Copies of this chain bind each other. A is one copy, B any other.
Amino acid sequence: MAHKHGHGKERIQFANTEDKQEFSKYPTKAGRRSLSRSISQSSTDSYSSAASYTDSSDDETSPRDKAQVNTQGSSDFCVKNIKQAEFGRREIEIAEQDMSALISLRKRAQGEKPLAGAKIVGCTHITAQTAVLIETLVALGAQCRWTACNIYSTQNEVAAALAETGVPVFAWKGESEDDFWWCIDRCVNREGWQANMILDDGGDLTHWVYKKYPSVFKKVRGIVEESVTGVHRLYQLSKAGKLCVPAMNVNDSVTKQKFDNLYCCRESILDGLKRTTDIMFGGKQVVVCGYGEVGKGCCTALKALGAIVCITEIDPICALQACMDGFRVVKLSEVIRQMDVVITCTGNKNVVTREQLDRMKNGCIVCNMGHSNTEIDVASLRSPELTWERVRSQVDHIIWPDGKRVVLLAEGRLLNLSCSTVPTFVLSITATTQALAVIELFNAPEGRYKQDVYLLPKKMDEYVASLHLPNFDAHLTELSDEQAKYMGLNKNGPFKPNYYRY
């Protein structure tokens, strides 16, 4: 997709989907999964999306053609409708309730203003949750300018609320490709103001600064990148010797990977299936393809609700884990005829083939929780002998000549992205990690970080976790001096070796 790797003159082909990042040119081996999470807010048709309150009533004028001023008299922003600010503020306040880690970070660090002097350009989904992140950065002393990393995912009222309080935001739901780059440029290119930090999700902003404003890029103190794709592009830059600033890979931190994937999928698989199909889980025969973190999360939840789950795997270690966890390990073709639900979580392509779709029983539900939209060979279903019937939003019945129906969810795109919500609490973990990465890079003594891509130090991972414990009223035990000595540990951590598997 163009705006993910667009270099101005490239021919842009919009995929017919709101889940644009999925078409990334850069599939990478590890951590692909996280990609999906980074754009979870793009789920524009989600039941709970507050955005739906306001969209339909909006006029058709492009925000670029409107003259808007916030109550402070500033017009340094471009949003759909600044008058929605109040409604957006309420959404932000609701989000704050589940993001107390960031609020707590504001309190702990506010006195010292660790980001005083930071000038951050950011490019993320613009949602209530990222608004809490942005306002945290501001509270810690930073100046921020922001733009959207996805043309569909902006909550217009949240953008308005941010603009109203003085954060220059350039984003609205339903941007064109041209709008997208225009916004990025407006975000970066401000007379008398020069960014010294980049917070990116996908790498487009980074790329734009690198290409269009090389002198700015060289003076940046650090880049914080959240997505698989963006991280991949940074590694490529680094490999090519062109990364002249330190970058922090937030995507592969423990807190993000273990919590975002395992725990989040444990809940969203149920949510996604229910909202689309009203299926009763009890007694359903389910095959989950792939027993990584995502697969583990799906299997745990479905089994807990009475489904009979088996899995497929290519990796014998994960397969052995599945055995010990009580799941039969099968080949898809062995069981496909009996299954009520087929879920892919592999990150691979053509995991469910047309031949297997042909053999499914009537009413079988097929969906994808893994990477991109390649796991199910949906293309093979677009053939003349099959009839597609859209029965609900995100739900298609594919009808075979003999009347058999297969229920395809989200056209094979990510189910939890399209048909469920991501709990604010999980987003809080990621946002806190991003905030700490910004603080770390901005304040690191010269020389600590070179022109390379870094993982967050384990101690900061632990700090992110500790900021979230009060949500659960969890009380950590402290090591005594004697115990710390016995264990050879510092009382304040880090508590585990880097290779610890959790």
Contact = CB atoms under 8 A, between A and B. Distances in A.
Interface of A: 27-30, 47-48, 50, 90, 94, 97-98, 254-255, 257-259, 263-264, 266-267, 270-271, 274-276, 278-283, 285, 301, 303-308, 312-332, 334, 338, 347-351, 362-363, 374, 389, 391-392, 405, 420-421, 423-426, 461-463, 465-466, 468-469, 471-480, 482-483, 486-489, 493, 495-497, 499-502
Given A282-B323, A320-B472, A328-B472, 18 more contacts: A29-B488, A29-B497, A30-B499, A30-B500, A97-B363, A264-B280, A267-B282, A267-B305, A271-B274, A308-B328, A314-B478, A315-B496, A316-B462, A319-B465, A320-B469, A323-B472, A348-B487, A499-B499
Nearest to A291: B502
A135 to B, nearest CB: 18
B283 A323 contact: yes
B471 A283 contact: yes
Most buried by B among A305, A350, A462: A305
B266 A282 contact: yes
B497 A30 contact: yes
B312 A477 contact: yes
A462 B283 contact: no
A348 B280 contact: no
Nearest to A28: B488
Nearest to A320: B465
A274 B27 CA distance: 32
Nearest to A489: B29
A316 B348 contact: no
A329 B475 CA distance: 6
Most buried by B among A254, A257, A275, A280: A280
Contacts of A278: 48, 421, 423-424
Contacts of A303: 326
A320 B259 contact: yes
A488 B347 CA distance: 12
A150 B326 CA distance: 35
Nearest to A363: B97
A347 B487 contact: yes
B319 A274 contact: no
- The 5 A-B residue pairs whose C-beta atoms are closest, nearest first, are A304-B304, A280-B423, A329-B474, A283-B323, A316-B466
A461 B469 CA distance: 35
B94 A391 contact: yes
Contacts of A472: 283, 285, 320, 323, 328-329
Most buried by B among A304, A316, A317: A317
A253 to B, nearest CB: 10
Contacts of A276: 48
Given A27-B486, A30-B497, A305 B316 contact: no
B317 A462 contact: yes
Contacts of A347: 487
A472 B254 CA distance: 31
8 contacts: A47-B47, A48-B276, A275-B275, A283-B323, A283-B471, A314-B479, A330-B475, A332-B477
B469 A316 contact: yes
Given A47-B47, A263-B306, A306-B324, A476 B319 contact: yes
